[in-house]
Every structure is written in C-alpha cells, then in structure tokens.
C-alpha cells in the first residue's frame, strides 16, 4: 500500500464519553463524524460493572447500525492489574472478574475488542509476573465465555509497567494457549514517551519492526492517536492535543500515513481544546494530515484555541458578576 492509498483507508475516530442519554457514545461519535470509536463499557474507576437494560442495548445497536459506524472498541477500567497475582491477590481476582465483565459487555453491545493495560509488575520484572498475566487473560476469557478479542495496549513504560516495549507482548502471546484471543492497541503518546521517536522515520520503523517480530503487524487492531505532553523517553503517560505536544503534526502524520498500518482504526484520546476530551478540532487535524480536509492543522488549532479561550472568558465573566453584585 502506498501513502496515498493508506490516506484513503485509515479509519478516523475518537473515544466518546458514554451516557444513557447519548446511546452510550454513539450519538457523540455521529456528532463528531467518526468512522470508528471507543467507549468505556463501565465506569473507569469503579470495580462494579455497568448494567445495561435490554432496551438500552437494542437502542445502542440500532443507533450504531443507522450511523454505519466501523469498529467500536471498549476500554477496560483503569483499576485492572493482571500482574498482581503474587503481590496483591485481592486486586488480581477483582481484575480478572472486571475483565470478564468487560468482555461480556462487549458481547452484549456487539463491540469489536476490549482494550486493556496490563498494569504493574510490582518490581518483579516481566519474568516475575508473566504467569500472573497469562493466567489472568486466560481466566477472564474462560469465565466470560466471550469471543471478543482482548487488545493489549502498550504503555509509556518505566521499569514497573508491563508492555512498554513490544517484545513484552511476544512472551505473553507465546505463553497463552489460544493467542487468537489477543490483539494489540498501539498508543502513539505511550510509544513516544517510552522512547520510540515517531518524529523520525527511523523511530517509527524501529517500533513497527519490533511489533512485527514480537506478534506480527497483523495483530495491531487499533491505534490510539495522541500527542504527548512529555519528551520522547520520559516514560510518563500524558496525552496532548494533536500538534500541541512533542510528537507534533509531522510525527502524527507519519503514523496515520504509514502503509504498514493500513486500514487500522485510528482513535483519539486527546484532552480536547476545551478540556472535555476528544473534539472535532482534533479529528479535523487528523483529516487534514491525511489530506481529507483542505485547511492546515495550524489553522484548525488556532480556531479551536480561540473558541476555547472565548468560552473560558465567558465563564469567568459569569462568575465575576454575582461576586460584584454582592459587594
């Protein structure tokens, strides 16, 4: 595939906040003009799974079909730690239960994958927790009875996090009996913070070669497209709006236009210019970078920043008025 063909096939979308009143994110995805999306199937900081009424499930499925949306992924809750077996057995059991619940929700809603961060190695290194991770993934799959793929997401790394380097996934895929249940989700901000310099051809190439030799590029089922607030190699997970961080427009474009990542859903998890999560401006910047929108990313960002500043000053003025009136 050439860069031009890739520009035509890449599917652009965003993480959408899911509420009962927006068909669990579908209405938001439509509003943003997404071709693909991600939602939280449950509250991201609660162990208890969200429950869905039959009516809500049907309404989600109908809205999705009507919108003609491509793949939709669920992101697992943030509390999950599959490396916890030896150090925090209670957390471990809750993690497996939560992952199993998450998979069941994917089945109910008809989602295409559950993205999961594997968590900490508790200072034991990958070798010290690989049995824990493999058993956790396998048990979650068995207990859920689900066929939805689990997408392991790369992390910003540091010596305690599992999955900064893609070779970590090789050991996990190898040790799982049926590795067809596993896929990979590549987050650009995490990869960059880990040390893959996506601004350079060589950095992107290194990452892709490592993924290819670890699990095969065919296992990459989703991309998280985020800029990074921190410099390459700083090992911190800090998402930034596209072009406002250290990866920059060119680095993001390198990924979006990379022929070896052809046709993979590209999903924003950016903070948004008004701080309310992935927005139209970040999507427009992606559209511009792949040549689908005839406006420069700089101009789109300027417009979004002005709009956000206008909103902020309106809020400030509204707050100031009653304070003055009270004096």
By CB under 5 A, which span of 51-59, 186-194, 200-208, 293-301 interacts with Zn ion?
A: 186-194
- By CB under 5 A, tell whether 224 contacts Zn ion: yes
Q: How far apart are CA 170 and CA 252, in angstroms?
A: 26
CB of 186 to Zn ion, least distance (A): 9
Q: Which of 112, 187, 279, 284 binds Zn ion (CB under 5 A)?
A: 187
* Closer CB to Zn ion, 63 or 148, in the complex: 148
* Closer CB to Zn ion, 269 or 284, in the complex: 269
Residues 225 to 244 in contact with Zn ion, rule: CB under 5 A: 237
CB of 190 to Zn ion, least distance (A): 6
* Closer CB to Zn ion, 187 or 197, in the complex: 187
307: which residues sit within 8 A by CB, 6+ positions away? 273, 274
* Closer CB to Zn ion, 64 or 224, in the complex: 224
| Helix (H) or strand (E) segment spanning residue 280 | helix 280-289
CB-CB contact of 94 with 54 (8 Å) = no
By CB under 5 A, which span of 208-216, 221-229, 279-287, 292-300 interacts with Zn ion?
A: 221-229
* Closer CB to Zn ion, 112 or 269, in the complex: 269
Which tokens hold the place of 118? Answer: 């594997």
CB of 39 to Zn ion, least distance (A): 13
* DSSP symbols for 116-149: E---B-TTSHHHHHHHHHHHHHHHHHHHHT--PP
- By CB under 5 A, tell whether 85 contacts Zn ion: no
Give the ranges where the chain is alpha helix by DSSP (H): 3-9, 26-32, 54-67, 89-109, 125-144, 167-175, 188-194, 201-214, 248-256, 280-289, 297-326
* Residue located via tokens 């190699």: 233
CB of 188 to Zn ion, least distance (A): 9
Burial of residue 325, with CB atoms counted within 10 A of its CB: 0-12 exposed, 13-18 middle, 19 or more buried: exposed
Q: How far apart are CA 157 and CA 160, in angstroms?
A: 7
| Helix (H) or strand (E) segment spanning residue 306 | helix 297-326
* Closer CB to Zn ion, 63 or 204, in the complex: 204
Residues 97 to 156 in contact with Zn ion, rule: CB under 5 A: none
Residues 263 to 282 in contact with Zn ion, rule: CB under 5 A: 269
* Closer CB to Zn ion, 105 or 193, in the complex: 193
Total chain residues near Zn ion (CB under 5 A) = 4
* DSSP symbols for 57-77: HHHHHHHHHHHT---EEEEPP
Q: How far apart are CA 315 and CA 327, in angstroms?
A: 20
CB of 238 to Zn ion, least distance (A): 8
Which residue of the chain is nearest Zn ion when measured via CB?
224
By CB under 5 A, which span of 23-31, 51-59, 187-195, 215-223 interacts with Zn ion?
A: 187-195
CB of 44 to Zn ion, least distance (A): 12
Q: How far apart are CA 264 and CA 9, in angstroms?
A: 8
What residue ranges bind Zn ion (CB under 5 A)?
A: 187, 224, 237, 269
């Amino acid at each position: 595939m050439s860069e031009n063909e890739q520009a035509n096939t890449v599917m652009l979308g965003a993480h959408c906040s899911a509420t009962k009143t927006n068909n669990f994110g579908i209405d938001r995805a439509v509003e943003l003009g997404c071709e693909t999306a991600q939602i939280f199937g449950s509250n991201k900081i609660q162990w208890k799974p969200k429950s869905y009424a039959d009516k809500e499930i049907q309404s989600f499925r109908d809205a999705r079909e009507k919108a003609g949306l491509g793949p939709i992924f669920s992101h697992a809750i943030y509390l999950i730690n599959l490396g916890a077996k030896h150090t925090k057995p209670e957390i471990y059991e809750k993690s497996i239960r939560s992952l199993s619940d998450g998979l069941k929700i994917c089945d109910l809603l008809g989602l295409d994958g559950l993205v999961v961060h594997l968590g900490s190695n508790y200072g034991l290194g990958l070798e010290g927790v690989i049995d824990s991770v493999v058993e956790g993934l396998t048990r979650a799959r068995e207990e859920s009875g689900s066929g939805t793929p689990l997408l392991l997401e790369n992390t910003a790394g540091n010596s305690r996090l599992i999955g900064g380097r893609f070779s970590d996934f090789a050991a996990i895929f190898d040790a799982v009996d049926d590795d067809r249940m596993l896929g990979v989700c590549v987050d650009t901000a995490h990869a960059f913070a880990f040390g893959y310099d996506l601004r350079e051809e060589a950095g992107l190439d290194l990452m892709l070669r490592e993924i290819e030799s670890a699990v095969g590029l065919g296992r990459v089922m989703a991309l998280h497209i985020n800029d990074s607030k921190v410099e390459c190699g700083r090992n911190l997970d800090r998402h930034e709006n596209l072009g406002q961080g250290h990866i920059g427009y060119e680095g993001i474009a390198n990924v979006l236009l990379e022929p070896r990542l052809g046709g993979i859903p590209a999903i924003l998890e950016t903070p948004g210019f008004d701080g309310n999560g992935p927005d139209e401006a970040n999507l427009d910047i992606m559209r511009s970078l792949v040549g689908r929108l005839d406006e420069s990313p700089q101009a789109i960002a300027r417009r979004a920043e002005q709009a956000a500043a206008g909103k902020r000053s309106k809020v400030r003025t509204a707050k100031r008025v009653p304070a003055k009136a009270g004096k």
